[in-house]
Chains A and B, each alone.
Chain A
Amino acid sequence: MKKIYILWLRQIKRYLRSRSRIVGSLAQPLLFLFALGYGFGAVFKQAGQGNYLNFLAPGIIGMSIIFTSIFSGMEVIWDRQFGFLKETLVAPMSRFSIMIGRTLGGATVATAQGIIVMLISLAFGFHPISWISTIPAVLVMFLVALLFTSLGTMIASLLDDMQGFQLIMNFLVMPLFFLSGALFPLQGLPEALSIIARIDPLSYGIDALRTLLIGAGHYGLGVDVIVLGIITFIFLWLGSYFFKKIQI
């Protein structure tokens, strides 16, 4: 337990020390909120869907979480290149605990990033239906973060260096984000897009956030949480399976 804690603490310390990373990863959500949030506001309203910025904010929170958590998970590659991974792999603890410690750390970092984006969107005019509901919303953020950090770890265990990173960004993370309903409502979609959105785990995360924060969900909170829970469990299992296979 103590070992998992120190692995977690390490991720947190690294995060707090890389200020440029924190600032850098906030630029994109800011741009999305500003350009899309205000840009599409008028059209969205005319279509009778209400305030677009309010609708968009949970999606952008989800975006910053998926980006941060997949990147956190993939930090395994850095650790391997800089040699630190060896230090943890020869230590007397199971690979499973190593993977759990790292994943919890990465997920905490991603959740923090999600909370920061939520606070920023307040400044842009986002207002949640109730303040109390932000508490379960943070729990959902953590669940989503856990899911994608495990996915990142899994990918990192299969890659040798950061060269594959662009590939992962363009063919996995970007599609997961754009097809998730982060930017558009899930109602009345063309059949194909609707099916794809249903396969995308991020859809359920953002849908749950929308239910909690603005009271407008599509799948229903129960379905969202169950789906997220099951997929998180599977990814954690897969992540630790592949992490166990790493040889240096």
Chain B
Amino acid sequence: MIQVNNLTKKFGDFVAVDDISFKVNDGEIFAFLGPNGAGKSTTIKMLTTLLNPTNGTVMVNGCDPTRHPDEVRHSFGIVFQDPSLDDELTAWENMEFHGVLYDVPKKIRRERIEQLLKFVELWDRKDSLVKEFSGGMKRRLEVARGLLHHPKIIFLDEPTLGLDPQTRNHIWTHLKELNKSEGTTVFFTTHYMEEADRIAQRIAVIDHGKIIAIGTSQELKKQTNTNSLEDAFLALTGKTIREESANSTDHMRTMRRMRRR
């Protein structure tokens, strides 16, 4: 479903993603783990047509995101790490907007919006403006929105960040069902190791822009001689706390400034 070969992304002199290759199979639940600033979000952006790679090739659902962005865009859904809702619209309008952009027929769209909003327990707030929502409510709405068009692949960039265990479980149960019933490929990043351990079929660990380990949770534990995924992760990436390096937008800014000079 996803095939990545020698993918590299540079922002000026900074190498955010350094010559990585991996493959995600059809209908797989795949976790992409790494400390802050390891290159997770940059990779996702290249997979989802938001950034062009400096080098290397990407295939998503059989298409190259740089050459056939629209085909690729039809095939995936995404829940971003940071908010991407329109605060001035209501919850329902945000869903409706998304449904129209993804060509979900009206009847199915209305049904699914109701079903999903009930599922994330926002149905009785459907006509409230998103700006009145709390952080957790916004997060729930974003997850619901990402599922609206039943994509072949769903990218989730730290989807459960800031959610309580109840909601987290609730969402993962739903995603697993979708994975089973529709064969949806799930590609997610998270900082909750037990979540990756429990849900992902295969895990890739990325650090400093390079993939340093890939395999099932069992394999990673075996490889590092540890008992839990958390320990395996720490053994692989070390214990130093990472400076959250500037995101790609910031890098672009520095690049622009340099160009201006």
Contacts and interface: CB of A to CB of B under 8 A. Distances in A.
A247 interface: yes
Given A92-B73, A248-B45, A6 B100 contact: yes
Contacts of A93: 70, 73, 101
Contacts of B97: 6, 10
B89 A83 contact: no
Contacts of B98: 87, 91
Interface stretch (B16-24, B47-55, B211-219): B47-55
A84 interface: yes
Interface stretch (A11-19, A107-115, A172-180, A187-195): A11-19
Contacts of B82: 83
B10 interface: no
A13 B89 contact: yes
B23 to A, nearest CB: 22
A29 to B, nearest CB: 24
Contact of A86 (B52, B80, B87, B253): B80
B80 A2 contact: no
Nearest to B81: A83
Contact of A2 (B100, B248, B249): B100
Chain A interface size, under 10 / 10 to 19 / 20 to 34 / 35 or more? 20 to 34
A89 B69 CA distance: 10
A248 B73 contact: no
A10 B83 contact: no
Interface string A1-45: 011001000100110011000000000000000000000000000
Chain B interface size, under 10 / 10 to 19 / 20 to 34 / 35 or more? 20 to 34
Nearest to A18: B88
Contacts of A10: 86, 89, 93, 97
A94 interface: yes
Interface in A161-185: none
A94 B74 CA distance: 12
B256 interface: yes
Given A87-B98, A90-B73, A92-B101, A14 B88 contact: yes
Given A13-B89, A83-B80, A83-B85, A91 B73 contact: yes
Given A82-B83, A83-B80, A160-B256, A3 B100 contact: yes
Given A90-B50, A247-B52, A248-B51, A84 B85 contact: yes
B235 interface: no
B70 A90 contact: no
Contacts of B48: 90
A94 B45 CA distance: 17
A128 to B, nearest CB: 35
Given A86-B84, A248-B249, A92 B103 contact: yes
A88 interface: yes
A17 B89 CA distance: 9
Given A10-B97, A248-B45, A248-B51, A82 B70 contact: no
Nearest to A85: B84
A84 B101 CA distance: 13
A227 B83 CA distance: 42
B46 to A, nearest CB: 11
B252 interface: yes
Contacts of A247: 50-52, 248, 252
A177 to B, nearest CB: 27
Given A83-B80, A248-B45, 19 more contacts: A10-B97, A13-B93, A14-B86, A17-B88, A18-B88, A82-B83, A83-B83, A83-B84, A84-B84, A86-B84, A87-B98, A88-B101, A90-B49, A90-B76, A90-B78, A91-B102, A92-B74, A92-B101, A93-B70
Closest 5 CB pairs of A and B: A83-B84, A91-B101, A92-B73, A92-B74, A6-B100
7 contacts: A10-B89, A10-B97, A14-B86, A14-B89, A86-B80, A160-B252, A248-B50
